[in-house]
Amino acid sequence: GENVEQHPSTLSVQEGDSAVIKCTYSDSASNYFPWYKQELGKRPQLIIDIRSNVGEKKDQRIAVTLNKTAKHFSLHITETQPEDSAVYFCAALTERDDKIIFGKGTRLHILP
Amino acid sequence: DGGITQSPKYLFRKEGQNVTLSCEQNLNHDAMYWYRQDPGQGLRLIYYSQIVNDFQKGDIAEGYSVSREKKESFPLTVTSAQKNPTAFYLCASSIGGPNSPLHFGNGTRLTVT
């Protein structure tokens, strides 16, 4: 079946540094790629999404890049802050089944 | 904050019993979803419904059942046939289909002993 791989599973960065989370997908027809943030004990919330007709999207300290040829997309967080500590999930919409497939998540720790 | 309400927050059941998890939304969204979250496994789709009185199986539907009699409600029943039911269950909705952002509820943690 269709698959989304996410790396790393855990990431620790010093406060103020940048964090990058990478995902690859298997369905070359996928055209929608959202990212969700889940703080401890809370619901996942959409933080940014990108569609296949653009290569990059930015929202303040968060950016997502998409490489359709290589079938991978990445989340970039700059100037990390303590409140960025959370689990981040990437996802891709599979064209074949019209379903969102999630990666397994990355636990991001921001170190003081 | 409102939008999607899941109840209860914690649920305990004995093995062999069916249990129903509630999910209600007041966002007027057409599509609703049930996900299961296990540590290190991400979010796996159980069932989804794009319109009232219609629903489709997700990737791990075995041992679960749903109904969609009203637009705002999408209850999930965990049956005794589900071999490993202890998990965190998340309900979500979206205004369009899966190519629009998901709005999640706060989840229900089910423990079966």
Whether B99 and chain A come into contact, CB under 8 Å, resolves to yes
Q: Give the pLDDT mean for B69-81.
A: 96
Whether B58 and chain A come into contact, CB under 8 Å, resolves to yes
- Pairing status of strand B76-78 against strand B64-66: antiparallel
Q: Give the pLDDT mean for A6-12.
A: 97
Task: Determine the Cα–Cα distance for residues A22 and A6; give it in Å rounded to an integer.
Answer: 6
**What's the confidence (pLDDT) of residue B38?**
93
Average model confidence (pLDDT) across chain B:
93
Task: Determine the Cα–Cα distance for residues A52 and A70; give it in Å rounded to an integer.
Answer: 13
Q: Which of A68, A70, A38, A44 is nearest to A56 (CA)?
A: A68
- Contact yes or no for B90 and A43 at CB 8 A: yes
- Contact yes or no for A6 and B42 at CB 8 A: yes
pLDDT digits (tens, 9 = 90+) for A23-77: 999 988 899 999 999 999 899 999 999 998 889 999 999 999 999 999 999 999 9
Q: Which of B37, B41, B3 is nearest to B23 (CA)?
A: B3
- Contact yes or no for B106 and A43 at CB 8 A: yes
Residue B33 has pLDDT above 70, yes or no: yes
State which residue of chain B sits closest to A92, comparing Cα positions: B99
State which residue of chain A sits closest to B102, comparing Cα positions: A46
- Contact yes or no for A105 and B42 at CB 8 A: yes
